[in-house]
Amino acid sequence: MLSQVDKQLIKSWRQYAIEPQLAKITGRVLRNTGPRIAVVGNCQSFGVAYAMKVLDPSATVDHFVMVARARANMGFFAKTLATYDYVFSHDFLDGHVRGGGSEELCRRLPKTLIFPAITFAAFHPDLIYIHDLAQMHGFVCGPIGPYHSAIGLFAYRKGLSLEMANALFHENVFEALGYFDVWNEAARELLDTTRERYGVDLSAELMNWSRRGVFMYSTVHPMSFVLFDLAKKLFEKVGLKPRAVNFNYYDVHDLARSEIFPIYPPIAKRFGALGGYMFKLQNHHISTTVGDFLTLPQFLASCYKIYGNYDSAKIGNPRVDAWLADEATSALLVRLARENFVAGRMPTL
């Protein structure tokens, strides 16, 4: 079965080698007469590619998503990308394309510009991943894909009941775990990484995003206006002039089709936003179904059921492991769960 990358490679050669010849024969005027741009990367790369098309409608912008394994090898992949005027790529590991990752692509095609993925944890400090060592770059999937709750995993591994697990989702627990103090570190990590590793300064952009309120669906899924601003920076970096455009009018919220991790109400309140405990399941078929959501009790119950299928040693996470290993932290969380449960301090939104 062909991956998205394989299909895009075929489409690319048709656009590059066949369609111009057909246009000459038929007299058809080609719509895209501007630069050819390739965007390679993870789930954020579509948003960047779409933004680049909005910034220059005359451009041919093709998107190569590095998610599944492709049948194509690195030689053919690099040869295809060489037909583009500009190549932008996220870092990606060996295995998506046979014969190498983004480092090998840059070696074969030096014009490739590696660009950053946007990550920001301040809105979702409880979100964690559980790595599945049996899979290539894989994760243990929960009820909303790879996203898990550190508090929920702690409660399960500590042997707390579902009622007690629910009672942990309270402001006093978030305070004890430092969840209200993540912004500065998240901002520093984002700005330092993008500037030092990728040569992209997003300090002004981060200030503007924060003024708009919440700008992430999860720690790794930014809203589309974030990716639009990143696309403008990338255009400027390679000498392309971004056109003035009201992106909000043409906005496509592609990553909203994926899983959405909620912003817990006490955390949202710190940012002047409305929070909740509604977990959204992925829905990439939004034209045929509206999708589904889970409440916090439903989410935790589903997590407990899934975790029960694994050996405890295989559902580890460094942060949760540290909580469990520290007697003071572990005892504090258990005590707060009991106090909240007895006092009726249970999440309601």
At the topology level of CATH, where does 4-115+222-253 sit? Rossmann fold (3.40.50)
The whole-number pLDDT of residue 286 equals 72
The whole-number pLDDT of residue 31 equals 73
pLDDT tens digits for 54-94? 999 999 999 999 877 778 889 999 999 999 999 999 999 88
Residue from 35, 115, 107 nearest 74 by CA: 107
The whole-number pLDDT of residue 288 equals 81
Indicate if the pLDDT at residue 245 is higher than 60: yes
Mean per-residue pLDDT over the chain, rounded: 93
pLDDT tens digits for 94-105? 888 888 999 999
pLDDT tens digits for 276-287? 999 999 997 777
Residues near 90 by Cβ (< 8 Å), separated by ≥ 6? Answer: 40, 41, 42, 44, 45, 66, 102, 114, 115, 116, 117
The whole-number pLDDT of residue 274 equals 95
Indicate if the pLDDT at residue 182 is higher than 80: yes
The whole-number pLDDT of residue 14 equals 82
For residues 302 and 305, give the distance between their C-alpha atoms in angstroms, rounded to a whole number: 5
pLDDT band at 135 (very low <50, low <70, confident <90, very high): low
Mean pLDDT across 155-179: 98
**Maximum alpha-carbon separation in the chain:** 79
Mean pLDDT across 179-207: 98
Indicate if the pLDDT at residue 137 is higher than 60: no
- Are the C-beta atoms of residues 156 and 303 closer than 8 Å to each other? yes
